[in-house]
Structure 1
């Protein structure tokens, strides 16, 4: 099991979190963590974003402006 210190909403403070034995094969990199103080579970999710294509932005025309009557 690996230990990490994170903020626990239930304990209202920083607590050590442990990764329980992972049945999905993640090992120590398991995204599921459990607070050692109260047992609350959290899921650490990571997202990968593609870099925007600047060339596509240059070719877009701005929306026409409306003038007040």
Structure 2
């Protein structure tokens, strides 16, 4: 299991979080974490920046009307 120190809203402070056994196959990179003090669950996600998405769109060839 993966352990991380994060802020817990329920405990109102920094607490140790761990990833439970993941049935989705993420292993230690599972985005679901549980506070070891109170049991509150959080999901950690990352978002692509808008700049990255715009750059990817600009690389696509432009479609021309027939």
- Normalising by structure 2, what TM-score? 0.75
**How many residues align structurally?**
54
Match of 2:62 in 1: none
- Asked if residue 40 in structure 1 is aligned to residue 40 in structure 2, the reply is yes
Structure 2 residue runs without a partner (length 5+): 59-66
SS of corresponding position for 2:42: strand
More helix by share: 2
SS of corresponding position for 1:24: coil
Structure 1 residue runs without a partner (length 5+): 57-69
SS of corresponding position for 1:28: helix
Query: Which has the larger Rg?
Result: 1
Match of 1:61 in 2: none
Structure 1's consecutive aligned runs of 4 or more residues displaced over 3 angstroms after TM superposition are none
